[in-house]
A and B are shown apart, each in its own frame.
Chain A
Amino acid sequence: MFTNILFLMSAVLTVGGAFAVILTKNIMHACVYLLSSLLGVAGLYVTLGADFVAATQLVVYVGGIVILMVFAVLLTGGSDAQKENKFGLSKIPLMGNNKTYTIAWITAFVVFMTLIKIISNIIKYYKETEVSAYTATVEKIGMLLVTDHVLAFEISSVLLLGALVGAAVIARPRKRE
């Protein structure tokens, strides 16, 4: 029963947060709602017994992605001069224009259809089963990462190295020419 309550709360947090993200007009508020949605997803992972993934969700999304998003929003700002306050800080950065809305709708449609395609199978062949007893997942994930999925693991490290080098190159002070 307790797990069910936890699951329901997490689900409400996830879905409610997601709706709030798209309904709000303020992009900073959208980031905060996204935070609650991501926390909800972490809660869902916990109820499914994937503790390591849940903690990773917290570390990566809450600690990294959301802060990065907020940073990016603040550093780019909006282009509408009237939305700025008297300090020159952009109060409500622009949410988008017709072009971005069009692309967003097409993307949303494709993603939605893909999800329907995936979920339909699950619904069709769904059988009520007992949730298996909780087992530690860290060791299993670790073993799989360095055995079966070692290629993906190594490639992602190369990707990260590339990102790091790229960031260093961009941030490097340029010489005056």
Chain B
Amino acid sequence: MNDSIVSFLSEFAIYKAFVASVSAKIGFDATSLLTFVVFFIAVLLVVNVMALIGGLGTYAERKISADLQARQGPNRVGPYGILQFLADGVKMITKEDIIPRMSDKFLFIVAPLLCMVGVFATLAVLPFASGLMLTDLNIGVFYMLGVSSLVGVGIFLGGYASNSKWSMLGGMRGAAQIISYEIPVTLSILAIVVLSGGLSMKTLVEGQLGVPWGWNIFHNPFTFIGFFVFFIGALAESNRAPFDLPEAESELVSGYHTEYTGMRFAFFALAEYVEVFVLCGLAAALFLGGYLVPFNLGKGLPLLEQFLQLGSFVTKTLLLYYVVIWVRWTLPRLRVDQLMTLCWKYLTPIALFNLIGCSFWMYFFEGKSLWVLLFKSGAKVAAGHH
């Protein structure tokens, strides 16, 4: 079946011996059981680490914004205030859980969970490293688009269920924005799919090279534009400024989560921060070489290789994460009509143009990148690291 963390582990002799010994002890073939256990542990690990990253995201946001505005930021809890997010979490748990009397209680409870489920389900295919990704689905990117659309439903229902005008408007804006910006984002991804010839994350990442001139973003002029279209669309899909209209403080109090308190609010916030990480990771995987390490360092030593690949992926993702925060604290918010104009009159045609351009590029230049075509020496370098 698909490559997954289990198929990666079962290449090692230690794992095989472990499976054999467990099978001997319990009296039947333990392969399936251990597969389940390994997946359980891996998923537990990934979800918790990502929740931690989501928490640290709030800290990073506050610290970076403070830096950009020449302030101090949180600096009381722990060294440099790094434990601030834990303090916030404790505060969230101990807060009173208010469900408005006139609200739709069932939907009010379900909405944050839908957001959480939608975001955390995308982690299943996020390529952390060639072996350490949970599973390499044959339809990876497509699956990711599918489950992440649950977030839109969650935001919309959260806005509706609160029974408040602010929430309602925020939810409406959120849903309209998310389903609109899905189109340029999907078209940009499709251009990369055309380049790589597959939907699985591994195909998409390993169609590139570890070095910057082998990344998809510099493959041809169309993908270079496509990256920016994708990134702008990703900002809008995760409701980040300058597209944070669903939670515009100056107009809508706090948008779709105005009426939410305590952990329910935290679920929305956590889902947003993890979604930003996932989308940055997707951008890194599709355009910036993903987990590939320059010059295939560490090849032959599986553990070191995985570690370096993880480092490569996380570094690229966190750099993009920094850009996202940087953009938020630099640009003013768009108006609703400007938002829709940007999506439908600029990004969608550009993305379509990119898709057609990439297809023609593949047809005429047989998938060779710009550098390969321009420099013979580049061709040698590129061929040397395939």
Residues of A within 8 A of B (CB): 1-2, 26, 28-29, 32, 35, 42, 51-52, 55-59, 62-64, 66-67, 70-71, 74, 85-87, 89, 91, 134, 136-138
Contact of A85 among B102, B139, B179 (CB under 8 A): B102
| With A51-B137, A67-B179 as contacts: A134 and B153 at CB distance below 8 Å | no
| With A2-B32, A28-B107 as contacts: A89 and B163 at CB distance below 8 Å | yes
A138 and B152 contacting across the interface, CB-CB below 8 Å:
no
Interface residues of B in 134-165 (CB under 8 A from A): 137-139, 142-143, 145-147, 149-150, 152-153, 156-157, 160, 163-165
| With A29-B107, A32-B107, A58-B149 as contacts: A71 and B175 at CB distance below 8 Å | yes
B146 and A59 contacting across the interface, CB-CB below 8 Å:
yes
* Residue in chain A with minimal CB distance to B175: A67
Chain A residues, Cβ within 8 Å of B110: 32
Closest CB pairs A-B (n = 7): A63-B149, A58-B146, A55-B142, A59-B146, A55-B139, A55-B146, A136-B138
Q: How far is the CA of A64 from the CA of B182 in the complex (A)?
A: 10
Q: How far is the CA of A134 from the CA of B137 in the complex (A)?
A: 12
Chain A residues, Cβ within 8 Å of B107: 28-29, 32
Main secondary structure of the interface of A (DSSP, over half): helix
Chain B residues, Cβ within 8 Å of A2: 32, 36
1/0 contact trace for B103-126 toward A, CB 8 Å? Answer: 010110010000000000000000
Q: How far is the CA of A91 from the CA of B106 in the complex (A)?
A: 13
Residues of B within 8 A of A (CB): 1, 32, 36, 102, 104, 106-107, 110, 137-139, 142-143, 145-147, 149-150, 152-153, 156-157, 160, 163-165, 168, 172, 175, 179, 182, 199
- A-B contacts, 25 of them at CB < 8 A, read A26-B104, A28-B157, A29-B104, A32-B107, A32-B110, A55-B139, A55-B143, A55-B146, A58-B143, A59-B142, A62-B146, A62-B149, A63-B146, A63-B149, A63-B150, A64-B149, A66-B153, A67-B175, A70-B153, A74-B160, A74-B172, A86-B102, A87-B164, A134-B1, A136-B138
For the complex formed, measure the closest distance between the CB of B42 and the CB atoms of chain A, giving whole angstroms.
16
* Residue in chain A with minimal CB distance to B152: A67
Q: How far is the CA of A86 from the CA of B163 in the complex (A)?
A: 10
* Residue in chain A with minimal CB distance to B197: A139
* Residue in chain B with minimal CB distance to A2: B32
B182 and A28 contacting across the interface, CB-CB below 8 Å:
no
B32 and A1 contacting across the interface, CB-CB below 8 Å:
yes
Chain A residues, Cβ within 8 Å of B1: 134
Q: How far is the CA of A56 from the CA of B164 in the complex (A)?
A: 34
Given A32-B110, A91-B104, 19 more A-B residue pairs with CB atoms under 8 Å apart are: A28-B104, A28-B107, A28-B160, A29-B104, A32-B106, A35-B153, A42-B146, A52-B139, A56-B146, A57-B146, A58-B149, A59-B146, A63-B179, A64-B149, A67-B149, A67-B156, A74-B160, A87-B163, A138-B139
Q: How far is the CA of A134 from the CA of B3 in the complex (A)?
A: 13
A138 and B163 contacting across the interface, CB-CB below 8 Å:
no
Q: How far is the CA of A64 from the CA of B149 in the complex (A)?
A: 8
Q: How far is the CA of A29 from the CA of B105 in the complex (A)?
A: 11
A63 and B139 contacting across the interface, CB-CB below 8 Å:
no
Chain A residues, Cβ within 8 Å of B175: 67, 70-71
